[in-house]
Amino acid sequence: MVAEKETLSLNKCPDKMPKRTKLLAQQPLPVHQPHSLVSEGFTVKAMMKNSVVEIEKLDYHHYLPLFFDGLCEMTFPYEFFARQGIHDMLEHGGNKILPVLPQLIIPIKNALNLRNRQVICVTLKVLQHLVVSAEMVGKALVPYYRQILPVLNIFKNMNVNSGDGIDYSQQKRENIGDLIQETLEAFERYGGENAFINIKYVVPTYESCLLN
């Protein structure tokens, strides 16, 4: 069954960054220099060691959408903070992730609709992590395919490096065409029985990785 039409539009991401992302960018930098944050293996979990709140106890309804808003960031170190924060929170979020999923769709759509190859590659890696981050998240994403997948049709057959400077997994996965294929396959594997038909509806050139 094809997912019902969602109420949110597919308008292109505005030229200005989302409000919360701009607020994030206005915050003063930590005492560490940006290059040392990378070399020291900065993570939100490591940062939280000096805090009274553990990462697992963070308010996911507030902080996870905030980090996802940062997917539109292209300025170092803010794009690095956003990316690292997302992966750390997805890794430790467990059953807190699924209830927040509807709040993540607009930031994901905004990032993809920037049509910036580097941002798209980062967002695709986040989506691959998101679908395996907690039980039922993959299936819960199916109704949102019409909002987040259309722009991938433009880049699906482009096998060009994005120039992604820092990769969370420390692997050079920069081929945008391959990343799109990997992401769609992950959606199909974890999206349940209706995943393929809904992917195919939005991305007609996609062929099932399970039915063939």
Q: For all residues of the chain together, what is the average pLDDT?
A: 77
| Cα 121 from Cα 76, distance rounded (Å) | 16
Distance CA 158, CA 176 (A): 6
Cα separation, 188 vs 180, whole angstroms = 12
Q: What local confidence, expressed as pLDDT, does residue 57 receive?
A: 81
What size, in residues, is the chain?
Answer: 212
Instruction: Provide the terminal-to-terminal Cα distance of the chain, rounded to the nearest Å.
Output: 20
Residues of the chain with pLDDT > 70, as a percent, come to 67
Q: What is the pLDDT of residues 144-178, one digit of tens each?
A: 999 999 999 998 877 644 454 444 433 456 789 99
Q: Is the dihedral of CA 104, 105, 108, 110 positive or negative?
A: negative
Element (H, E) at 2: none
The pLDDT value recorded for residue 174 is 72
Residue of 130, 91, 107, 149 whose CA lies nearest to 19: 107
pTM of the model: 0.73
What is the Cα–Cα distance from 7 to 54, expressed in whole angstroms? 36
Pick from 195, 177, 198: which is nearest to 186 by CA? 195
Q: Which parts of the chain sit beneath pLDDT 50?
A: 1-42, 48, 52, 160-162, 164-171
Look up residue 173 and give its two tokens. 């996965």
CATH of region 55-157+172-202: 1.25.40
- Between CA 23 and CA 36 the distance in angstroms is 23
Q: HSE-up of 153 (CA within 13 Å, CB side)?
A: 14
Q: Which amino acid is present at 130?
A: L
In a 3-state reduction of DSSP, which class is residue 116? coil
Q: What is the pLDDT of residues 117-131, one digit of tens each?
A: 999 999 999 999 999
For the chain, strand residue ranges (E) read: none
Rounded CA-CA distance 24/116 in Å is 20
